[in-house]
Structure 1
Amino acid sequence: MQASEQIWMDGKFVPWGEANVHILTHSLHYGLAAFEGIRCYKGKQGSAIFRLQEHVDRLFESAHIAMMAIPYDKKQVTEAIIETVRVNKLDSCYIRPLVYIGYGMMGVHPGDNPIRLAIAAWRWGAYLGEEALTHGMRACVSSFTRHHVNVSMTRGKISGYYVNSILAKREAKANGYDEAILLDPDGYVAEGTGENVFIVRRGRLITTPLTSILEGITRSSLMQLARERNLQVVEERFTRDAMYVAEEAFVTGTAAEVTPIREIDGRRIGTGKPGPITTSLQQAFFAIVRGEDSAHSNWLTPV
């Protein structure tokens, strides 16, 4: 990680190396915290944050699901995110707001411990690597199952849920793959460790329905771009072997952006290279976030 200069913590900026919490911070022990991943891109007209309002909305939704009342309103949080990028003089970056339960009561019930908010931003390149963005990544179906909707409320982007992702990711990397794809409790494809999954099958763009997955903001953006290009977009359950016989496959996410999949479980996907639909949507996405296509300028918040 490339350290920046300042982190916003509870209404004020503190030096990066001094942005600390007490070792008995409740969220550190029990995992109940809500967070977002947001990207700022350097574009033709200057730097801009991608779909900032949607990310702020989802942060508040996640906190609400977790019964954490954020002590700031959406306008204040939005302004704090923009200011964090400005203060650190970042023309492109990844932004991480984190709502967490602070120090006080110990035990499963946090009592009236304070709800705290921190916002960090730092330079971060391609999450799965430039090679994966260009040529596609290798994935495997994980031995770990994704969350059941009544075990983990999957509309919330909750820190503790990502233990499942960490275990799946470690397993995949240990076995020589770039990423893991998890199945839902019924055995259908759910999502990656931090990404939504798409396949192209017989000309249709198919993605998993909002049953046991996080409602991805990049996911919804790609679906809109696909429909604008007269592609048939379908939300339906599909099996792991449906991925094996797909013509194309890719994942989306704030960190992963639009990353093609060239292989799953040792099986080549399509030609083993990014397909025409994946490539077209990837190019359309990057043209928008870099300010080269003004069709969705409302998705960008200037810094």
Structure 2
Amino acid sequence: MAGTELLPIAFFEGRFVPIQEAKVSIATHALQYGTGVFAGIRGYLDRDGQTINIFRLPDHTRRLLQSARLLRAELPYDAESLGELIVELVRQNAPRTDVYIRPFVYKADLEIGPKLKGVRDELAIYMLPMQEYLPITHPIRLMTTSWMRTVDVVIPSRAKVCGAYVNSAFAKDQAMECGFDDAIMLNHHGKVAEGSAANLFIVRNGTLITTPVTADILEGITRRTILEFAHDLGIPVEVREIDRSELYICDEAFLCGTGVQISPIGNIDGRTVGTGEIGPITARLQQLYLAVVRGEDTPYRHYLTRVAVAREAGAR
């Protein structure tokens, strides 16, 4: 899980500052109306112990700016310069463990009224230590929640809109109070969408299956990575609608995302998935993913932005 302490330096409204100074007013528009978007980016401590491997940083910065466009947010950064800020923040914090990086674009004016245009936009970025968000070494238990995933014409799920995550909170709360680890959400057609905050894959008869980006899901970067891995490993793939009943007869299932990584599912709605253990396709994909992010010699090293963080002896 995430650590309890934020790392000491943040980027806040144009400056690198101590995290204690990165504060907004109680009257901030984004706090009142959820008018912000964010990204979740993982940095993994390399096997050398002196480098943080930021996974698919350009993809994350591009998606953040696309999300910002949906909120009509205008920033003086492009994807490349935003990535440079994140790299510098990692350098200044010099973490010696896996980290989670949270860029946040938000409507910053102290203004009443739910609107988008004409409200000042700002950027903040902070970091915190993070290990497992959900277990990856043993299967988890999920339930299909009664809360429906938000529809694109209500709040687009393809963007990480802050206010939309109340939808995820309702779903996860219900699942956890019923004794499960997380939730599976259906869309307005009654088809499977995704987890509360992660994309979903199932395996049937040796074929890896996931829902399309038009099924009210986040356009996941880890999801896209898994599809690429599967193609390269020769695993058949289908991107299509998934019926709820398929969850009960599939051979394997897993959640994927920046936070959850690849988290195997052993039980859905009280029904055992496959053998109840980590399936062979899930295991192959997870093993490759972890090898890539830890900096092992793979064909996917170009997905890593490597940041040297070794401190000199005696440094803080």
TM-score range, shorter chain: over 0.9
1:64 lines up with 2:54 in the alignment? no
**Corresponding residue of 1:51:** 56
**Are 2:108 and 1:105 aligned?**
no
| 3-state SS of paired residue (1:261) | strand
In structure 1, the partner of 2:6 is 3
- Compute the displacement of 1:111 (Å): 5.5
Shift of 1:108: 1.4
Structure 1: 5+ residue runs without aligned partners?
none
Q: CA deviation at 1:153?
A: 2.1
8 Å contact from structure 1 (residues 26, 110) kept in 2: no
Answer yes or no: is the 8 Å Cα contact 2:25–2:110 preserved in 1. no
What's the counterpart of residue 129 of structure 2?
123
After TM superposition, the structure 1 = structure 2 runs for residues 215-230 of structure 1, keeping only pairs within 5 Å, are 215-230=219-234
Match of 2:289 in 1: 285
Report the counterpart of residue 150 of structure 2 in structure 1: 147
Q: What is the CA deviation profile of residues 227-262 of structure 1, one whole-angstrom value per residue up to 9, with x for unaligned ones?
A: 111011110111111011110000100000000000
Large movers: runs of 4+ above 4 Å: none
Query: Which residue of 2 is the match for residue 15 of structure 1?
Result: 18
Q: 2:274 aligns with which of 241, 246, 270?
A: 270
Cα distance between partner residues in 2 of 1:169 and 1:99: 24
Q: More deviation in 19-28 or 39-48?
A: 39-48
Are the equivalent residues in 2 in contact too, given 1:147–1:184 (CA < 8 A)?
yes
Percent sequence identity over aligned pairs: 42
How many residues are matched?
A: 300
Counterpart CA distance in 2 for 1:208 and 1:119 is 31
* Deviations 1:126-149, CA, capped at 9 Å, x for gaps: 001xxx211110000001001112
Shift of 1:83: 1.1
Deviation at 1:294, TM superposition (A): 2.6
Distance 1:273 1:25, change over 3 A: same
Mapped to 1, the partners of 2:103 and 2:121 lie a distance apart of 13
Bigger mean CA deviation after superposition, 89-98 or 102-111: 102-111
Q: Distance in 2 between matches of 1:68 and 1:42?
A: 33
Could you tell me how far 1:226 is from its partner in structure 2?
A: 0.8
Asked if 1:158 corresponds to 2:161, the answer is: yes
1:25-36 superposed matches below 5 A? 25-36=28-39
- Report the residue type matching 1:76 in the other structure: S
Partner Cα separation in structure 2 for residue 156 and residue 194 of structure 1: 12
**d(CA) in 2 for partners of 1:228, 1:294:** 12
Within 2, Cα distance between the matches of 1:193 and 1:89?
31
Within the candidate set 97, 115, 120, 1:114 is matched to: 120
RMSD value, Cα: 1.2
TM-score, normalisation: structure 1: 0.96
Secondary structure of 2:274's aligned partner: coil
CA deviations over 1:274-300 (Å, ceiling 9, x no partner): 000000100000000101133111100
Task: State whether structure 2 residue 260 is matched by structure 1 residue 256.
Answer: yes
Matched-pair contact (CA < 8 Å) for 2:209–2:237:
yes
Secondary structure, in 3 states, of the residue corresponding to 2:300? helix
Selected match of 1:201 from 179, 204, 208:
204
The answer to whether structure 1 residue 133 and structure 2 residue 131 are counterparts is no
